[in-house]
Structures are given as C-alpha cells and as structure tokens.
Amino acid sequence: MDYFKKGDYEKALHEYKKLYAKNASNISYINQIIASYQQLEQYDNAEVFLLKLISKLKHYPAFLVELGFNYQLKNDMENANLYYNKALDHLTVNPSHVFTIGRSFQKHTLLNQAILAYEKAMALKPDYNFNIQLAQLYGEQGQIEKMFNGYLDFAETNPVAIPDVKRRINGFLGDSGEAENNMLFRKILLKKMQQEPHVLWNQMLSWLFIQQKDLKKAFIQEKAIFNRKPESLDRIKELALISVDEGKNDIAKDIYNYIINTAQDIDTKLEAHFQLIQIETSESTKDEYDSINEKYLALFEEFGSFAQTLELQIAYGHFLAFYMDRPQDATKLLEKSLDLPISQLQKAQVKLALGDILVLQEKFNQALIYYTQIQRNLKNSTVSQEARFRVAKTSYFKGDFKWAESQLKVLKASTSQLIANDALDLKLLISDNKYEDSLHTALKLYAKADFLSFQNKTNDAIMLLKRILTEHKTEPIIAQALFRLGILYKEKGEVSLAVLHLEKLIENYRDGILVDDGYYHLAQIYEKDLVQPEKAKALYEQIIFNHADSIYFVEARKRYRALRGDAIN
C-alpha cells in the first residue's frame, strides 16, 4: 500500500502478488493488483488476470465491470460496453449482485451504468431502497430535480436518515430564497404537499426557510406541523432561539407569544414569558424600564413567587439592580428566593446573582463570600467553575491581578469551553500588560473601564478607555483599549466610531493577538450594519488566509463563501 501511494507501482504489484498467492480470495489484494497493472498501463496483463478471475469466480460479477473499465482504458468502448451490459444482465438472475456491481460502477465514476444498476435492482426487488445512492449519482450528474426527489423519497421511508439527507441537500442550496436550487426544492416540496400531505414536507420546508433565514415563513410551517401533531412545542421553541440568535427579535416575540397562548403546561409558559421579557429588556430604553418592571410584577401576580418561577425571580433581581438602580430591593428579593424549597444547584444560581449585585455596588468582599460558598458546596461542577471565574473577575476589578491570575490558571482547564475561553482571555489581558508598568497604572484604568461597563455605565467606560489612549500611547494595552472601544460603540449603535477604532487596531497592531478579533467584528459590521458585502468579504478573507488558528476561522469561512455566492455545489 505504501509503495502504491508513493507511485512505485512495480514494487506494489510485486508485494500484492505475493499476498495474493497466500490468500487468493482477498478482494482487496485482487483490486490492488488490477489497479497496479492499470497504473503501469499493462492493460493486457490486467485483462488476462481478470479473465481468469471471471472464469473461476462466476458468483462475483463485479469483475465484469472491472474488465469493461480495463477495455475503456484501452479506448476499446465496444468491448467496454459489452462487459458493462453483461454485468447489468447478471442482476436479472440475482438482484443482490447490485451491491458489488453498483459499487464498482461508482468507483470508476460510471454514473449512467451505476444508475441503471440501482434502478434495475429496485424494479426487480421492490423491497430494495437505493434512493440515497441514486440521489447522490443524480447530484453528480447535475440532475438536481431527480436528486432532490431521491433524497426526499429516501427520507420518507427512513426517518432516522433525515439529518443526513438534510446535510446532503444543504450542499446544493444557497443562502437566498432566490437561488435557483432553493426555488426548485421549494417547488418540489409544495407539489408533494398537494399530492400527498405529509408532516415531513412541512418539516423540510421549515428547514429550507431556516437555511434562507426566512424565519417568518419557517414559523408558518412550524405552526402547521404543531396543528397536525400537537404533542410538543419543542420545534417552535428551537425556532424562537434561532430567531434571537439571528437578531430577528420581532419574529422571536411573535413565537413566544404564540407559545404563551398555546402551551398547556406552566413550565413552558413560564419559559416563554422569561425569554420574551429578556428580549423586551434588551430593546428597551430607560423611559421604558417602568413598563418592564410592571410586566415582571404582573407575572409574579399571575404565577406566584415559588420554586417554579425561580428563573424569573433571578432575572427580575438582575433587572432591578442593573437597570432600575435598585440593588437593595434586588437583594431582598433574592434573599427571599433562597428560603424557597430549592436544590443546591438552584441556590447556587441565586447566590451567583446576589454576588453580582454586590460587585455592582463595589461590595467586593461580601460578593466573594457568596462565590466561595458555591465553590465549597458544589465542587467541580460547572456552576462552581463559573463562581471561580467570578472570583477572578472580582479580583481583577479590584486591581488584585496576582490573585485573579492564580484563579484563571485553574480555569483554563475548565470542562466548560465558554468559561475556559473567557478565563484564557482575561489571563492573557493581565499577563500581557502587568510587566510593562510595575504600578499597573494602565491595567488598573482598563479594569476600571471594564467594571464601569459591567455596571452598564457605558459612557463612563468609554471616557476611561479614551484616557488610556492619550496617557499610555506606548503601552501594549492600547490594542486592547481600541478593541474594547470598538465593541462598546457597536453596542451603542454608533457604528462609524466602532469602525474607526477597529480599523485603527488592525492598522497599528497587525501582529498582535487581537487582530483576528478586529477583522471579524469589523466584517460583521460591514456585512450586517453597513450592508457592504464586498468589504466584509475582504475582511473575512484576511482571517481565512492569515489566521487559520483563529476561533473565528470556521464562521469567517462560512460567511465568506455565502457572500461570494458559492454555497451551491
């Protein structure tokens, strides 16, 4: 095999012949001998070898395909077709030979013959199902309509294969509903729905609309699916989360309102209310906070302050402290929550929220007590690791960088990838900037800006970061300050200022560890906020070709291909 891979076919042939002499029934050795002869252009030797095999192994008609292909390599198409037809004729006697015959045709990219083999076998033996093989072959031939139908027919009879079918079809779809293949696929599904209504066609239509980011149409299909099979709202809940991820909050709100009006169980209703109020909070201005507050109170009036509404209580506590500037009320609320009959894990979630509220008020030592209790009570759990990260972050806010670093070193090995990544980012920030200045002046300013951002004091955080830019021009923390300013301006909706600072980061710190972050966030702004796809594409390209180790590499490649319009195979 090693000789063959290196192109040393004479030696490969010699070794395979020795193996074949010891085990003449090994198909792998036989195929490699034939391939070695053909690579050496010794077609006559391959022919003699194959004729002997055919006379000896009449039960293995795939060798007829191999002999036909050998004639094809000699440009003798008359004999090639003769043996291809002989192989196909064998199926009439024994349709089960299709497994080896079809595979041999496919191996040599003899697509027409492979299709004939599978179609003939299915006609002779109706319980055979080669729709997925046929669909793949149709796709390779460019017969897209036949391919789509083949995959859908296979999915209909093999529901467990639906994820695989979706993956295969997805390679032929574009990002837009205007793409030719997308329109064809939609047309096929609609026709199937008219001819023979089946929930699968609604599911596939919904999936198609999700690929196209047409979530409103996907929601229509999901409602149709639920009306026919009202067992579970899980698919609709998943669509709501996708809508939030895609930034389509209006659709998400419609979906959550539908769930609230449709769900029969309290837990599902509460989850929808929780998600809905989070979206509304994220969109609200200070003038609308009182309205949000009233909504929370109305929910507690309707559902009560019991263990069942704990997630809502934690969210309300966070809202009171971080949005309404009522940390004392938030603390009282959550301390009452701790008295409810809840599990240790639920208590830990409440204590995390209480700790955050204490940090907000700069009561760092009291916050550390809550975080430490969680670590002690739920060792090695994800929530314990989250508490350790909060300890590190609190120490960082205080300017105790040495203790913060010691906690972050442990968290780099966290079982939660998200915590591990956050821990590594913060550790690098500290370690990269603490040696330049023994007093840590710039790092303390940056940590203070981070803390102000945590307190929702975005304008104050921006002022402090600008001060770093003017007072610490020669220090490495400038790159971090530029990046953070870019992100804060983007969050504020001041896109031109976000672009300005991210472009400065890329221009002046091309060799720094934050340049790929800069490229990615700038690309996102150009793609989504400024709708300048060509500029976005050029930025994604920088990550693909110059930063293959970036955490943004996979997403950048996906967005680049979509913008370039080559999502269709």
Q: What is the pLDDT along the chain (569 residues), one digit of tens a residue?
A: 999 999 999 999 999 999 999 999 898 999 999 999 999 999 999 999 999 999 888 778 999 999 999 999 999 999 999 999 999 999 999 999 999 999 999 999 999 999 999 999 999 999 998 999 999 999 999 999 999 999 999 999 999 999 999 999 998 998 788 889 999 999 999 999 999 889 999 999 999 999 998 999 999 999 999 999 888 999 999 999 999 988 899 999 999 999 999 999 999 999 999 999 999 999 998 999 999 999 999 999 999 999 999 999 999 999 999 999 999 999 999 999 999 999 999 999 999 999 999 999 999 999 999 999 999 999 888 999 999 999 999 999 999 999 999 999 888 776 778 888 888 889 989 988 877 666 788 999 999 999 999 999 999 999 999 999 999 888 889 999 999 999 999 999 899 999 999 999 999 999 888 999 999 999 999 998 898 999 999 999 999 999 999 989 999 998 888 787 654 33
Place of tokens 């040696």: 435
Q: Is residue 265 part of a domain?
A: yes
Number of folded domains in the chain?
1
Radius of gyration of the chain (CA): 32
Q: Is residue 475 part of a domain?
A: no
Angle, CA of 440, 520 and 447, to the nearest 5°: 20
| Alpha helix (H) residue ranges in 364-494 | 364-377, 382-398, 401-411, 417-433, 441-454, 458-471, 477-492
Q: Is residue 551 part of a domain?
A: no
Give the pLDDT of residue 436: 66
Domain span at residue 271 reads 223-282
**Angle, to 10 degrees, between the axis of helix 310-322 and the axis of helix 266-283?**
10
Q: Is residue 273 part of a domain?
A: yes
Q: Give the Cα separation of 284 and 390 in Å (integer).
A: 27
Q: Give the Cα separation of 497 and 256 in Å (integer).
A: 35
Per-residue tokens: 77: 């198409």
Those residues with Cβ within 8 angstroms of residue 43's Cβ, 6 or more apart along the chain or in another chain: 37, 70, 73, 74
Q: Give the Cα separation of 245 and 248 in Å (integer).
A: 8
Q: Determine contact, residues 135/168, Cβ cutoff 8 Å.
A: yes
The helices-and-strands tally (H runs, E runs) of the chain is: 32, 0
Q: Determine contact, residues 183/191, Cβ cutoff 8 Å.
A: no
Give the pLDDT of residue 275: 97
Q: Is residue 228 part of a domain?
A: yes
- The tally of CA atoms less than 13 A away on the side-chain side of residue 356 is 22
Q: Is residue 259 part of a domain?
A: yes
What sign does the CA torsion over 502, 504, 510, 511 have? negative
Q: Which among 464, 399, 481, 484 is positioned nearest to 434, based on CA atoms?
A: 399
Q: Determine contact, residues 101/91, Cβ cutoff 8 Å.
A: yes
Give the pLDDT of residue 569: 35
Q: Is residue 444 part of a domain?
A: no
Per-residue tokens: 242: 């996708």
Place of tokens 């790929």: 516
Burial per residue of 8-28, b for 16 or more beta-carbon CB atoms within 10 angstroms, e otherwise: ebeebbebbeeebeeeeeeee
Per-residue tokens: 550: 């970036």
Q: Give the Cα separation of 393 and 33 in Å (integer).
A: 65
pTM to 2 decimal places = 0.80
Angle, CA of 35, 36 and 40, to the nearest 5°: 115
Angle, CA of 463, 468 and 471, to the nearest 5°: 120
CA 151 and chain centroid, separation: 23
HEC readout, 418-444: HHHHHHHHHHHHHHHHCCCCCCCHHHH
Task: Please state, as a whole number, how many other Cβ atoms lie within 10 Å of the Cβ of residue 58.
Answer: 10
Q: Give the Cα separation of 103 and 83 in Å (integer).
A: 16
Q: Is residue 274 part of a domain?
A: yes
